[in-house]
Structure 1
Amino acid sequence: MNLNHLSYFRVLAKLEHYTQAAEELSITQPSLSHAMFALEKDLGTYLFEKQGRNIKLTKYGKIYYEYVDKALSELERGEKKLKELTNVSTGTIELGYIYTLGPNFVPKLIKNFTNADENKNIKFLFGQGTTQSLIKDLKEEKYDMVFCSLVDDEPDIEFIPIANEELVIIVSNEHPLAKNEFIDLSEVGNYPFIGFSEKSGIRSLISDLFKEVDINPNIICEVEEDNAVAGLVEINYGIAVVPKISSLKYYNVKVLPIINPKHERFIYLATLKNRYLTPSVNLFKNYSIEYGKNNFLNK
């Protein structure tokens, strides 16, 4: 069945006049007649009948018109929606990011991006999670892109470094280590630790740091989210290695820079390789890369 024939049928059904319908469709009357003949042949019934010099819908034509009109209207709405989503100035971007980026990095990035007049009508749909969950959702195309940690053995994903985060030790202000101003990781092996779960992208980096100083930390519990770690440290349940995020200032904890071992913690922009990105998504991707270079990576 020809989609053009259905469009012709809808116009002819509304006007019930071949000449007027052909003019509106910008086709010849014989072409319109041929299309309706083919459609009626496909359906095995007459859709129109003559009424003097004009035509009118048959009983079956009226029934069929209701379905055709609804179907074509849905297709038109779908086409309109796709154009809105893929338009470089009015598209929608589905963005996921790890918890540490919620209070500061992502809001500032979005503000700077949408401050440009040409980007102000672009919409965002946000989601947060651990690196593992974000990568899973990215591969299922829930997100167009995510900000997360680097994950090994993901050949179908492109990881681009976008920012770096300092790692620190946090302890309760009542903890013996709170008298320090900085810390060597080799000095903390005897204290209970609050660790990140396996779903967190930062877990492997922290484990590698402990291996460097030959420490097997006494991990008494594991959580997924940085603020949950800080809350447990605040009540002196344990100490923890965390990214130096802005929300730490709201907790009753002491933040200690790690002077040994030396380390770098990067945040990556992850997208699926060889997958189409809409103009607005591609615009934001390139903007984010430049934003990271100018504000973090070159500092």
Structure 2
Amino acid sequence: MNFRHLEYFLKLAENEHMRLTAEQLNTSQPNLSHAISVLEKELGVALFEKKGRNIYLTRYGKIFYDYVSPGLNQLYSGKQMLQEIASPETGQIQLGFIYTMGSSLTPNLAKQFLAEKNNEAIQFRFSQGNSSDILQQLKSDNIDIAICSKIDDDAEIHFDVLTEQKIVVIVPNKHPLTKNSQNTVSLNELAGYPFVYYNNQSGLRPYIDEILNNHSIQPQITCEVEEDHSMLGFVGYDYGVAIMPDIPSISAYPVTKLTITDEIPSRYIYLATKKNKRKTPVVQKFYDYCLEKKMTL
């Protein structure tokens, strides 16, 4: 069924006047008559009847109109909604981020972006989780763009480095390792202590595994957690020591932050997008802004 023919039918049904309808549709009367004829042939019923110079809906036409009118209005509304969502000035961005990025980088980045000229009316919809969850949401098209760890090379996901994250050791207050007045620690000094560790769903798990493996340390794990604040809580209650990102909320817990004296691999945070998926104008605008900004932590 031709969408244009339905538009012609709807307008003619509302006007019941051929010449006026043709003018409003910017077409000729013969073209309008042909469109209605094709539609009637497809449906197998007459939609209009002539009485003198006037044209009226038939009983079948009235029934059909009751379906076409709300249907086309829904389509128009859907089209308008998508255009508004995708607009580079009034659109919507579904942004996913890992827990660590919720305290500073993500809110700061979004706020700075919205402060740019012509960005004030753009809306963000935020989604938070571990890297596995966030990347799955990206693959399922539930979000447009993600700030997360790079777990593995993924054929469906494109990763761009967004920032580098500082990694520290945290220990309970009054822990033996806090006796160092400079608040520093070598990785080998951690070997004799139990660990609070990230679970397998966390993007930090393979990174910390690599750090410890490089120093031949097999951690004695007392408990595994999913996100940073749980880690801080368990360390604060003396479940063990932990290696984690240097986030602002560390100071709110009864723990001491220690700087690692060893050289360790860089810990990067990535901007992730789905390969082979066309970005809407507003998502492309935010994507370009992020890569230009290169936020620092």
TM bucket normalised to smaller: over 0.9
Equivalent residue for 1:192? 194
Equivalent residue for 2:211? 209
Mapping of residues 1-299 of structure 1, within 5 Å: 1-180=1-180, 181-292=183-294, 295-296=295-296
Deviation at 1:145, TM superposition (A): 1.1
Deviation at 1:263, TM superposition (A): 2.8
Question: What stretches of structure 1 move > 3 A for 4+ residues in a row?
Answer: none
Whole-Å separation in 2 of the counterparts to 1:63 and 1:178:
81
User: Which 5+ residue runs of structure 1 have no aligned equivalent?
Assistant: none
CA RMSD, aligned part only? Answer: 1.3
**Per-residue CA shift, 1:40-83, capped at 9, x if unaligned?**
11111111112332111111111100111111111101110111
SS in structure 2 at match of 1:195: strand
Whole-Å separation in 1 of the counterparts to 2:55 and 2:155:
62
TM-score (norm. length: structure 1): 0.95
**Per-residue CA shift, 1:155-214, capped at 9, x if unaligned?**
232111111111111111132222231110111112111100111111111111111111
Q: Report percent identity of matched pairs.
A: 43
TM-score (norm. length: structure 2): 0.96
Aligned residues: 295
Whole-Å separation in 1 of the counterparts to 2:92 and 2:130:
23
Q: Which residue type is aligned with residue 118 of structure 1?
A: N
Whole-Å separation in 1 of the counterparts to 2:188 and 2:115:
46
- Please tell me whether the aligned partners of residues 148 and 270 of structure 1 are also in contact (alpha carbons under 8 angstroms): yes
SS in structure 2 at match of 1:280: helix
Whole-Å separation in 2 of the counterparts to 1:262 and 1:199:
22
Q: Which residue type is aligned with residue 291 of structure 1?
A: K
**Per-residue CA shift, 1:233-257, capped at 9, x if unaligned?**
1111211111000111111110001
- Please tell me whether the aligned partners of residues 148 and 269 of structure 1 are also in contact (alpha carbons under 8 angstroms): yes
User: Which 5+ residue runs of structure 2 have no aligned equivalent?
Assistant: none
Q: Which residue type is aligned with residue 239 of structure 2?
A: Y
Whole-Å separation in 1 of the counterparts to 2:24 and 2:155:
53
Whole-Å separation in 2 of the counterparts to 1:96 and 1:121:
20
Whole-Å separation in 1 of the counterparts to 2:204 and 2:87:
36
